[in-house]
Chain A
Amino acid sequence: EDKVVQSPLSLVVHEGDTVTLNCSYEVTNFRSLLWYKQEKKAPTFLFMLTSSGIEKKSGRLSSILDKKELFSILNITATQTGDSAVYLCAVPHQGAQKLVFGQGTRLTINP
């Protein structure tokens, strides 16, 4: 069965710090891995990764995939209080496209 595990489950840092969120996965016929940010509403799409070693970047956020070791990381530099959210990692289930989510990392940025 497809499985996604995120760590840490919870992280509290100060504004300006850099954080790294981890996502490991086990999935048959891997196709892509997605990162979402969820505040008190719907998950908002951040990145989709399909190839190993190619960093995706958007402002202070970046993500990279390692298909050999079956994990991805999401980095946030110079964190701001607005980065406080739950960050979800997900992979499409083989064939059917439904997303299998990890438990999420709850990130809290203190001023």
Chain B
Amino acid sequence: IAGITQAPTSQILAAGRRMTLRCTQDMRHNAMYWYRQDLGLGLRLIHYSNTAGTTGKGEVPDGYSVSRANTDDFPLTLASAVPSQTSVYFCASSERGQGNSPLHFGNGTRLTVT
């Protein structure tokens, strides 16, 4: 089934540890995004990529990094996790970046930093 796959589904991580959240899409979409979703807040953009080989910072990029070596994969790395990074992380893609094409979301990664 075409779509976006995120891994892991959930993770408990000790503060200070490094963690990479994986995201793969098979829709050949140009643009990909990482969002975090916290209770009572709207989705907040962490990083995005409008096309393979390029990335950009979103609203809350500090403490996170991304890479886009190819069209399909867009991993998100937490270099040294802190408790405030406890959240649900959603990867998304769209046909075009910076446009009006709808977002397709993965099922999310629930991350708890202790």
A, B assembled together: no
Instruction: List the interface of chain A (C-beta within 8 A of B).
Output: none
